[in-house]
Amino acid sequence: MAVTSPPKLDAHKLRADFPIFEQQIHGKPLAYLDSAVSTHKPRQVLEKLKDFYETSYANVHRGVYTLSERSTAEYEGARQKLARFVNAPSDREIVFVRGATEGLNLVAYAWGLVNLGPGDVVVVTELEHHSNFVPWQYIAGRTGATLKMIELDDNGELDLSALDSIAGEGRVKVVANNLVSNALGTINPIEKLSAWAHDQGAIMVVDGAQAAPHKAVDVQALGCDFFAFSAHKMCGPTSVGALWGRLELLESMEPFNLGGHMIRKVTFEETTWGEVPAKYEAGTQPIAEAVGFGAAVDYINEVGLESIERHEHELAVYALDRLAEVPDIKLYGPPADRRAGIVSFNLGDIHPHDVAQVLDLEGVAIRAGHHCCQPLMQKLGVAATNRASFYLYTLPEEIDRLVDGLNKARKVFA
C-alpha cells in the first residue's frame, strides 16, 4: 500500500490567525520559539471565549434556567471534543483539571495514597518534568514505597534494558513517563512501557503535555491508564487541562478535591460522591476556559495533527542541521526522527540566560533554564540549557534568525 504524507501546512497563512504576531519586539518581528512552555492563541479561540461570555455564560450543572443549560451544553460539548481528540472510549473518562500538573497530582494522591505502601515500587524516568516527578517522589515518601528511575542513554533516550532489574526491586505498582520530553524532545516508547507496566500489575500514567498539541494521540493504542494534558500548550486558554483515565479506575478511586458539585448526598454524618467525572470536578470549574479548550481542539483538528507533526519534524531536521553549524554549540537529545519540535543546546560556556537575552534583542524568544527538569540537568551535568521549541506557526526563517542571534551572542561574549 502506498504511504501518503499528510498535507503540508502553510505556517505563513496560519500566522494570520494569531494576533500576537502583529507586534514587533525591539523593532523586529516576533520569532516566538518557546511554544513548549505555552503557545499563542488564534482568533478562533479568542472569539469563542468572548462570544461565550457575551451570550452563554452561567455556572454549569447548577441552574435550571436557559442560560445555565446553554452553558452546561457548551461545557459538556467541550468534554466530548476532548474525548474524541484522544480517542477515549467514553466522554465520562475526561476530567477537567487546571492543567497537566493537577491531572498528575490527582492520580498520585487519589490512586497513590490508597494503593501504595512499603515494598511497592514507583517507576519514573530521568526525563520527567517536575510535574510527573515530584508528586510521585512525594507520595512514595509518604507511603513508604520506593521510587526508581529509568535512566537515559547518551542520546537522551530511555534505557529499557534495566527494566528487569527494576522489577526485581519489589512490586512495581506505577510507571509514570512523558510521551514527549519537554527538555530534549525525545519521543518515548509508551506502548512498550504500558505493556511492561501491565505485566507487572502496575498502572501506566502518561504525561501528555508535550504530545497532545503536536501529534495524534490514541489513549487506547498507547495502552495507558491515565493521560494528562494542558490547553495552554495547544492554542487554548490557561488554567484548564484534561485528565483521561480508565473508567473503572476513576470509579474505584477516592476523590481528590472535595466540595461543590462532586457530591451525591451530604448529611451531618457523611458524604457520598457523585458519578465520574463530576466526582473529580469540585467547585466552580474553569467553564469558559474549558469551552475555549474545545475551540482549540476544533482549530487543531482543522489544521490537522498529522500536518502539524510533519511541519514540526521538518523544522526539527532543519534546526538540528543549522544549529550544528554554530561553533562551540552542544546539542542535547536524540536524532530528528525520534524527537519532536524541541531542541536544547548550550553555547560554549555562555550562560543560557545571557544567550536568551541577546536573542531577545533580535526579537527571538527562547527558553533558558532547567525547564522544570532539575534531575535531568543533574544527569547532563549542567545547571541549565537553552531551548527552542516550535509549533504550527513557526517559520524556518525564524530558525535562521536564531542561528544569526547565536553567532551574535558568541561575538558579544567572546
Give residues in contact with ligand PLP (CB under 6 A): 37, 99-101, 129, 131-132, 178, 182, 207, 209-210, 230, 232, 241, 372
Q: Which of 42/213 has CB closer to ligand PLP?
A: 213
Among candidates 230, 231, 211, which has minimal Cα distance to 221? 211
Q: Which of 81/367 has CB closer to ligand PLP?
A: 367
Shortest distance, CB of residue 57 to ligand PLP, whole angstroms?
24
State how far the Cα of 70 lies from the Cα of 97, in Å rounded to an integer: 21
Q: Which of 93/207 has CB closer to ligand PLP?
A: 207
Give the rounded distance of the alpha carbon of 221 from its chain centre.
18
Sequence-distant (≥ 6) Cβ neighbours of residue 141 within 8 angstroms: 147
Q: Which of 146/210 has CB closer to ligand PLP?
A: 210
Sequence-distant (≥ 6) Cβ neighbours of residue 24 within 8 angstroms: 30, 363
Sequence-distant (≥ 6) Cβ neighbours of residue 55 within 8 angstroms: none
Give the rounded distance of the alpha carbon of 101 from its chain centre.
9
Among candidates 304, 299, 260, 253, which has minimal Cα distance to 281? 260
Contacts 24+ apart (CB under 8 A), 43-46: 43/17, 43/18, 43/19, 44/17, 44/295, 44/298, 44/299, 45/235, 45/236, 45/237, 45/292, 45/295, 45/296, 45/299, 46/19
Residue type at position 192: K
Shortest distance, CB of residue 104 to ligand PLP, whole angstroms?
7
Known active-site residue 224: no
Q: Which of 388/409 has CB closer to ligand PLP?
A: 388
Shortest distance, CB of residue 129 to ligand PLP, whole angstroms?
4
The number of beta carbons lying within 10 Å of the beta carbon of residue 171 is 15
Given the residues 224, 235, 372, 373, select the one marked as catalytic: 372
Shortest distance, CB of residue 182 to ligand PLP, whole angstroms?
3
State how far the Cα of 250 lies from the Cα of 241, in Å rounded to an integer: 17
Q: Cα dihedral sign for 222, 217, 314, 37?
A: negative
Q: How many CA atoms lie within 13 A of 85 on its CB side?
A: 33
Shortest distance, CB of residue 137 to ligand PLP, whole angstroms?
15
Q: Which of 214/401 has CB closer to ligand PLP?
A: 214
The catalytic site residues sit at: 372
